[in-house]
Amino acid sequence: MTEIREAALVLRDGTLFEGEAVGAQPEAGFSTGEVVFNTVMTGYQEVITDPSYAGQIITFTYPHIGNYGVNSVDTESRGSFCRGVIMRDPARRASNYRSEGEFSDYLISQGIAGIAGMDTRRLTRHIRDLGAMPGAFGTADESTLRDAALAEPGTDGIDLVQTVTCDARYTVESDGPRRIVAMDFGIKTSILTQLKRLGTVDVVPAGTSAADIMSLRPDGVFLSNGPGDPEPLEHVRSTIDSLLGNVPIFGICLGHQLLAGALGAKTFKLPFGHHGGNQPVQRLRDGKVEITSQNHNFAVEQDSLVNAELTHVNLNDNTVQGLRSTTVPAFSVQYHPEAGPGPHDSRYLFDDFEDLMETFSVESANA
């Protein structure tokens, strides 16, 4: 019989939640990070391997996690960068024809600490009322956890991209006609799968210069998703600024925020972010509503948009979900059209990127 290890979560405001330790055991006896919640009902493996969760502890609002196991296909990056997971009821055994292992074993192999048996409904309501905040969980005593939660800086003002970007350029080969350079701020495997439909993808570190990017002779540049606050990434905005007008650009999530910043817009932090696979977004050109996958804590200020038009809005809170430059070939969306996990309503945006590259190519040839 597995030994039950009592554990607790303490938030920065002192609120205490009790549960049981699962997954890897941290050497210090606790893990810290910014506590957020995700509302997906499936896709837990994709969620915990999404680099955009660097610096955060993920609360799953769906009560049963791990019921269909894990496999080698659904991993979204080279590892996991989240600080931990919080669950109500982890499955005791997996049941699915695609399963290659148990979720509990996967947490240990990835070095991810977790806490289960939690009142995730109470925790989610607390975060909705007071906003995402730092916390600490583990088997350490309450006093130690409280001190650790107070010492945790969260994600504001911190460059987390440097912790997830690739160390060197690598290439994803394709039979497609295009060559795309993807700036890696924490890029997901499912995004590369969609880009590969269009052409060969050169994935470059976040610090790559505009000159080095253009030396690869790309038909287009993709700005990837990634974790944390876009504000400290001035060097990336400067690179994007140098690329604007010279090559078509498409950005997703953090890439969207950085493109907006390069165009002169500002960003702000949402109270508890958007994390889930069921966010309604309206496409303004025709009023169509898309159900989207989202994972971000920051958003673009609509009133600050410069040389750009609003293309998509979130119907829950009217935040900016998409923009298109009015002066150069560039557009972006806040949500995840690759949807890993999530609905596929928005995958047409990759085709829009292909159309933008084709138009730019024709216009350049005729110039």
Crossing angle of helices 234-243 and 254-262, in 10° steps, is: 70
Phi/psi region, residue 111 (left: phi>0; alpha: psi -120 to 50; beta: rest), is left
Among candidate residues 34, 76, 152, 338, the one labeled active-site is 338
Q: For residue 303, give every residue at least 6 positions away whose Cβ sits within 8 Å of its Cβ, in sequence order, or none.
A: none
CB 146 within 8 A of CB 10: yes
Among candidate residues 34, 312, 336, 354, the one labeled active-site is 336
Q: Which helix (H) or strand (E) element contains residue 193?
A: helix 189-196
> 144: exposed, middle or buried (C-beta count within 10 Å: 0-12, 13-18, 19+)?
middle
Active site residue 234: no
DSSP-assigned letter for residue 362: H
Phi, psi of 228 (to 5 degrees): 80, -155
Among candidate residues 253, 275, 312, 354, the one labeled active-site is 253
Which of 275, 257, 341 lies closest to 43 in space, CA to CA?
A: 341
Strand partners, 17: 9
DSSP string across 232-283? T-HHHHHHHHHHTTTS-EEEETHHHHHHHHHTT--EEEEEEEEEEEEEEEEE
Q: Which helix (H) or strand (E) element contains residue 116?
A: strand 113-116
Q: Map tokens 């790309």 to a residue.
A: 218
Active site residue 338: yes
Evaluate the CA torsion angle 309, 314, 316, 319 in order and state its sign: negative
Other CB atoms within 10 Å distance of the CB of residue 306: 12
Active site residue 235: no
Which residues are designated catalytic?
A: 253, 336, 338
